[in-house]
Amino acid sequence: MKEQLGRTVVITGAAGGIGRALVDIFATGGDTVVAVDLPGSGVLEMTRHLGHPHLCLECDVSREEDILSLYSRIEEQFLDIEVLVNNAAVGPDLVATLDTHVEDFQLALRVNLVGPNIMAREAARRMKPGAVIANVASVAGLLSNPYRNGYAASKAGLIATTKVLACQWASRGIRVCAVAPGYVRTPMIAELERAGKLRPAEVRGCIPMGRMAQPEEVAQAIRFMVSAQATYITGSTLVVDGGLMSFNQSGEANPAVDNLCQTAPPRPEGTEARIAVVVGGTKGIGAAVAVRFAERGDTVVIADKNNEAAAALASSLGDKHLAITVDVALESDVVALFDELRRRYGHIDILVNCAAPKGAFVLSVVDVSPVFEQGLSVNLTGAFTCAREAIKVMRPGSVILNLGACADFLHPGSRDTIDAYNAAIEMLTRCMAAELGPFGVRTATIVPGHIRTPGVTRPSKFMTRWVRRQIPMGRFGEPDEVADAACFLASSDASYITGSILNVDGGLASTFGPICVSKFDLRSLRTITESPFVDGESN
């Protein structure tokens, strides 16, 4: 008889490092684990630890025939496969190009790229809507370094494949995502250290957070990406690197830290209530974020220009929550806001800049005007000023989250201005990650796609068809789905994530080339824009 607990989760490379952490996290979380690794890796011995109904199997993912046999064996015991985590990999040998054998280069491609593609293909054939495939890539696939040719090329290919498969399989209800770790304290890294090819102190000096990740920190990020809290995330790659990619200058990224002591993540925050400030939190995504933090037990401060709406929302959340009027375009207002919070609470733990672009970004860059500059004052300069003042009252373990601009389906010509804003806010996030990492303050940016906010609650039939044509998942996202991402990034489960960008867009950023809009589409869009049911508001 076929039986299982929770979801059936297939994990390759399961015997050590990140793989073993994944096995433990999913098994203790109530899922049924199929642990897969090479013959002789010790994966079969894990059976005694896991027990029934979990399954441990040997497989060489560089061999297609092994993969086909693997899935035949899985089918004998389980009805469905809900999650595949492609974690198996061969690491970089750190060998110069002139000394790299073709056979070694090809092995990296077979294990790190071809194998995961075959694993994904066979899993997808057995998956139902709601299933997820997560690829464990690497920062090496995004950031070039010497002596990593085959490894880096294979991981870059895996990140690209993630986007392609996400677009192909979204219509079937299958999500595909990736996590790109930086340096992780794994047996692979330990072997490089023993061989004298990697110096731990030098590595830690390149990381703003001043330490390598623990396998559990990467596993927590993967668990989120395949969870029900990430239902609008597909095609995205979440970087988990302690800020490594955000640091780009001479000298040490973390000179103030004794690198030899930085080996463990900070302790989880547990159930302690935090002080969370949500700027622009009266409706849409901002309101959903405020509600999520309040549900967790945090004290929420809703800072918004609309005092009446902020007060109403704060009151609906409970007595301990607070509404404060602030115009983020006025530096004096922002300074006064955080002075007040210092007097009331002594510190804050979370800042979420949700005062996202609205009407100021409906123009094409060819029509740029003072309106666009005014939008930057509110949304970019305002976010900077809020972050600057928040840092003064933050303590280690605090988090700054910036919200990117929602894709504006009503005004496709505004794509260039929205992209300009998102590029700016993402770079601001990275700069702060590099600067604040040594002080234990993390940053991240969430970039929403088309989100169903108050301004777009009644799209026409034409608009629904148009959205489906450009978004792989074929639907608007919900504010709660963006709020779930914010809640994760602000949690201890994201303790090694800083400077990272997370797209919550149904795969929109994974589509290739510009979206084609016909003259008929534009005429229809103009009609929709003038509709009394749609006000064009993005957030």
Q: HEC profile for 184-216?
A: ECCHHHHHHHHCCCCCHHHHHHCCCCCCCECHH
3-state secondary structure of 167: helix
CA distances from 174 to 11, 147, 166, 169, 394 (A): 17, 36, 8, 6, 40
CA distance linking residue 512 with residue 399, whole number of Å: 33
Cβ density class 458-485: b for 16+ within 10 Å, e for less: ebeeebeebbeebbbbbbbbbbbbbbbb
Catalytic residue numbers? Answer: 151
CA distance linking residue 436 with residue 388, whole number of Å: 11
CB atoms within 10 A of CB 302: 32
Asked if 476 and 452 count as a contact pair (C-beta separation under 8 A), the reply is yes
Q: In terms of DSSP bridges, do strands 500-504 and 299-304 run parallel, antiparallel, or are they unpaired?
A: unpaired
Using CA of residue 243, residue 285, residue 365, residue 466, what is the dihedral sign?
positive
CA distance linking residue 58 with residue 73, whole number of Å: 11
Asked if 87 and 34 count as a contact pair (C-beta separation under 8 A), the reply is no
